[in-house]
Structure 1
Amino acid sequence: MGVIWLVIIGAAAGFLATRLMKLEMQIIPTIAIGIAGALIGGLVLRFLLSVMGAFAGLIGAVLGAMLLIWLWQTYIQK
């Protein structure tokens, strides 16, 4: 159930991350990057879930998505 939750949060995180970084992307890459970022950020910050609750998972998902967007823009999009 934890991975499914990260996928759902990831879709929202991708949207938030693209808006925070002022980036216009199509919906499929936005969701895909958000899901991947949520999995990365959620797994890295999982220990915060037990300490701070579900809000930490959202923060981790958004940070992970922002990291992947930055890497994508820097290395892949060229």
Structure 2
Amino acid sequence: MQKNRRIYSLNIISYLAMNNIEFKLLMDNDNKVYAVVENEISDLLEEYKSNDFLQKFLHSYQEIRRFIKENKNIK
């Protein structure tokens, strides 16, 4: 990964924070949050992608969020 690249994934940004990687949070013109990382993080991103437990957790979380979104206005 290139240095100073924008990262929009909140999951990845959280993973970077959990691993004590310094980054700067900013907002783009569409009010989307992104992080700019100055360090080389390719190895850490590979670790993130290959962590089966973490990926299962994120998938479950995504399913719950989808359920909430689809059902929040149904009474």
Q: Same fold by TM (over 0.5)?
A: no
Q: Which is richer in strand?
A: 2
Normalised TM-score (structure 2) = 0.32
Higher relative CO (Cα under 8 Å, sequence separation at least 6) belongs to 1
Q: Which is richer in helix?
A: 1
